[in-house]
Structure 1
Amino acid sequence: MRLKKIIIPSFCLLMIIACNKSNDKELDDQANKITLQKPTEHVQKLIKIASIDKSFNSYSVRAFEVYNDYINLFGSNANNMELDKIVNFSQIDDFQLYSLKHLDSAIALPVLKELNPLIRSYKINARAFAVTINSCNSYYSKKEYRNDKFNQAAVLHKLTINIYSKFKKSDSILRVKSKKITQKIENEYVNTLKEEGLEVEYLMLVGTKDIDYLKELLASNSYNDLNVEKLTYLQDKISTTYNKLTELKNSDKNQFNQYCNLYYSNLEHLNQSINELIQRKKDKRKFTKDEIKKLKHNKTSARLVVGSIQSVLFLSERVLESCKDIKLKRGYLNSEIATKY
Structure 2
Amino acid sequence: MKRKKVIVAMSGGVDSSVSAWILKKKYNVEGLFMKNWEENDTKNFCASKKDLEDVKKVCNLIKIPFHKINFSIEYWEKVFSKFLLELKNGKTPNPDILCNKEIKFKIFLNFAIKHLKADFIATGHYARLHCIHKKFFLKKGLDKKKDQSYFLYTLKKNQLKKILFPIGNMQKKKVRLIANKLKMSVANKKDSMGICFIGPKNLQNFLKKYISEKIGNIFTISGNCVGKHYGLHNCTLGQRRKIGYIKKKNIINKFSPIYVVGKNIKKNIILVCKGYNNPHLMSIGMFIKKINILVKVDIRKTLFCSIKIRHQKKVFKCFVKFKYKNIVKVIFENPISSITPGQSAVFYISNICLGGGIIFKKIPLIKNIKI
What TM-score do you get using the length of structure 2 for normalisation? 0.27
| Larger helix percent | 1
| Larger strand percent | 2
Structure of larger gyration radius = 1
